[in-house]
Amino acid sequence: AAQAVPAETAPVTAPEVLPEAKGPLKLEVAGISSSESFKILLSYLYVACAGAAWEYAPATFEVNKDILRLARHFGLGQLHEHAARSLAKGLHTGNVVQRLVTCEEFGLGKLREKILE
């Protein structure tokens, strides 16, 4: 199971590239739980940052949290905003505490207050 690591301390590591290495290289990012998170990040960088139409649609709450971490770590304010807005979608009594805790974790005070209303 992946362990949450604050974005400020989440190291990005890649294996050493050897001349005889064949096949795909593996990139590991501490604190990120799924490859979907990185796919969304890359999609954002290559599509949305180029000005093309782009839709933010994380499959799970955990993927959305990963995006919040990645966006904060890399200073991507607009991506962070997409992920923050996603926290308010699908809100119900079964997930409200989880969403409020996430707002606290990522310093989303205004969103937290809006959820509490």
Which pLDDT tens digit goes with each residue over 52-108? 899 999 999 999 999 999 999 999 999 999 999 999 998 999 999 999 999 999 999
Whether 96 maps to a domain, the answer reads yes
Whether 75 maps to a domain, the answer reads yes
d(CA 67, CA 73): 10
Give the per-residue pLDDT at 25.
Answer: 64
Count the domains in the chain.
Answer: 1
Nearest to residue 82, comparing CAs of 104, 111, 117?
A: 111
User: Can you give the residue range of the structural domain that contains 112?
Assistant: 36-116
Per-residue pLDDT of 11-34, as tens digits, reads 555 555 555 667 776 667 777 888
In the block, tokens 């991507």 appear at 76
Whether 25 maps to a domain, the answer reads no
Helix (H, G, I), strand (E, B) or coil at 102: helix
Beta carbons of 86 and 58 less than 8 angstroms apart: yes
Whether 7 maps to a domain, the answer reads no
Whether 101 maps to a domain, the answer reads yes
Beta carbons of 32 and 38 less than 8 angstroms apart: yes
Whether 1 maps to a domain, the answer reads no
Whether 108 maps to a domain, the answer reads yes
Give the per-residue pLDDT at 2.
Answer: 45
